[in-house]
Amino acid sequence: MTVDFNEEPHYKFIPSKKATIIKAPFSGGQGKGGVEFGPEQLIKHGLLEEFEELGWKYTIADPLAGTDLIAQKNDPTDVYKNCKRPKMVSECCEKIYHAVSDAHAKKTLPVTIGGDHSIGMSTILAFSNAHPDGGIIWVDAHADINTASTTDSGNLHGCPVAFAMGLDEDNWPPHFAWLKQITKKVKPSQITYIGLRDVDKPEKKILKDLGIKAFSMYHVDKYGIAEVVRQAIEHVADGGKKPIHVSYDVDGIDPMYVVATGTPVRGGLTLREGLFLVEEIVNTGCLAGLDIVEVNPSLASTDTHVMDTVNTGLSIARCALGDTLL
């Protein structure tokens, strides 16, 4: 194989390198505190400067500004059957959905900074409505495809893919009426996973029944990250012809590099594998949406561990914005 030294990042679906940074300081999809500080930490340590250095113009959207997130998180009445905080998750996700849709309508690159991964239901739904032929690559240790009925923990950050697909709608908490009304849901063929290693039994059944292509760590070990990414792009974007949204849960990367996250699972992607996959997707020119979620600065015992995690998030952003090693 000959090395191509002329690969230049470009963006087929974002005409003039404009981005919308959507702040999603949301933690209601899981029980732990701290993940709401993810956006602020990433910004404090240089996220905005990265956009500038790499030649991007950006605006910042803050759809949850003015929402009393603390009161909502502590509302003991916000439960429905097994689901925790459905009202809070629904209301915030609706606001994020509109912010991301707006970013797509303006032909900008939506970069949504979490927050926990429940907000992924909004970002991938907004993406697939803006780009009905587009594909989604969900990088994660977990499949996040439990339904309202199958979730054991009741934490909705384990359910966003199921909600975006409209799975088990009849059993949804009534708060999600807005989401039910969006008729164009994410199709199982539109999404693929990379990095899975902690998948619940009912989730395994859903993945099989719906024929969702998922690359676990087993596949990364067996075929190598380059082949896995190639096949992922082949599957969701016809090899690099269609828009791609990357929903990046930092727990996809091994906790050796990413300590400060809510649900770490050993045996994950190395830092380089985790960045390489973004570089490869960007090289197709198809990147049209990005989430960086589950950076939780409160869940590390040392500042070094916090900075390792924050820097990983920043590196993911930098790769997505077209930075190259040479």
Which residues, at least 6 apart from 57, have a Cβ–Cβ distance to it below 8 Å? 16, 17, 18, 19, 51
36 lines the binding site for Mn ion (CB under 5 A): no
Compare residues 30 and 90 and give the one whose CB is closer to Mn ion: 30
| 152 annotated as a binding-site residue | no
Q: How far apart are CA 301 and CA 54, in angstroms?
A: 33
| 168 annotated as a binding-site residue | no
140 lines the binding site for Mn ion (CB under 5 A): yes
85 lines the binding site for Mn ion (CB under 5 A): no
Stretch that binds Mn ion, among 27-35, 95-103, 143-151, 304-312 (CB under 5 A): 143-151
Compare residues 23 and 157 and give the one whose CB is closer to Mn ion: 157
Residues in the chain: 326
Which residues is 247 bridged to in the sheet? 138, 291
Beta carbons of 21 and 61 less than 8 angstroms apart? yes
Beta carbons of 294 and 116 less than 8 angstroms apart? yes
Q: Give min distance, CB of 139 to Mn ion, in A.
A: 9
| 249 annotated as a binding-site residue | yes
**Which residues between 102 and 121 bind Mn ion (CB under 5 A)?**
117
203 lines the binding site for Mn ion (CB under 5 A): no
Stretch that binds Mn ion, among 71-79, 104-112, 142-150, 268-276 (CB under 5 A): 142-150
Among residues 203, 249, 273, 291, the one that binds Mn ion under rule CB under 5 A: 249
Nearest to 101 by CA among 33, 38, 178: 178
Compare residues 22 and 253 and give the one whose CB is closer to Mn ion: 253
Query: How many CB atoms lie under 10 A from the CB of residue 189?
Result: 13
197 lines the binding site for Mn ion (CB under 5 A): no
Do strands 135-139 and 244-249 pair parallel, antiparallel, or not at all (unpaired)? parallel
144 lines the binding site for Mn ion (CB under 5 A): yes
| 140 annotated as a binding-site residue | yes
Nearest 5°: the CA angle 306, 311, 312 is 100
Binding-site positions for Mn(2+): 117, 140, 142, 144, 249, 251
